[in-house]
Amino acid sequence: MPLQRLNHAVLWVRDIERSVAFYRDVLGFRTRAESPGRAVFLVAPGSGNDHDLGLFAIGDGAGDSEAGTRTVGLYHLAWEVDTLAELARLRAALEAAGALVGTSDHTVSKSLYAKDPDGIELEVAWMVPGDPAAGQGGAGVAPLDLEAEIARYGPERPTRALS
Q: Quick one: what percent of the chain has pLDDT higher than 70?
A: 92
pLDDT at 138: 55
The reply to whether 1-60 and 75-163 are identical in fold is yes
What is the mean predicted confidence (pLDDT) over 93-113? 96
Tell me the CATH number for domain 75-163: 3.10.180
pLDDT bracket for residue 5 (50, 70, 90)? confident
**47-82-96-103 Cα dihedral, nearest 10 degrees:** 120
Strand partners, 78: 123
The confidence band for 134, taking pLDDT boundaries of 50, 70 and 90, is low
Q: Which of the four pLDDT bands, split at 50, 70 and 90, describes residue 133?
A: low
91 burial level (CB within 10 Å; 0-12, 13-18, 19+): middle
Question: How high is the pLDDT of residue 94?
Answer: 98
Backbone angles phi, psi at 22, to 5 degrees: -65, -55
Q: Which of 71-75, 88-92, 93-97, 114-118 has the lowest mean pLDDT?
A: 71-75
Residue 147 has phi, psi (to 5 degrees) of -65, -40
Domain ranges of the chain: 1-60, 75-163
How does residue 12 score in pLDDT terms, banded at 50, 70 and 90?
very high
Higher pLDDT, 162 or 30: 30
Average pLDDT over residues 24-40: 96
69 φ/ψ angles, rounded to the nearest 5 degrees: -115, -45
Q: How confident is the model at residue 136 (pLDDT cuts 50, 70, 90)?
A: low
Three-state secondary structure readout of the chain: CCCCCCCCEEEEECCHHHHHHHHHHCCCCEEEEEECCCEEEEECCCCCCCCCEEEEECCCCCCCCCECCCECCCCEEEEECCCHHHHHHHHHHHHHCCCEEEEEECCCEEEEEEECCCCCEEEEEEECCCCCCCCCCCCCCECCCHHHHHHHHCCCCCCHHHC
At 58 the pLDDT is 96
Distance of CA 27 to CAs 67, 95, 124, Å? 24, 12, 9
Residue 16 has a pLDDT of 96
CATH number, domain 1-60, options 3.10.180.10, 3.30.2350.10, 3.40.50.740, 3.40.50.10800: 3.10.180.10
| Predicted local confidence at residue 163, as pLDDT | 44
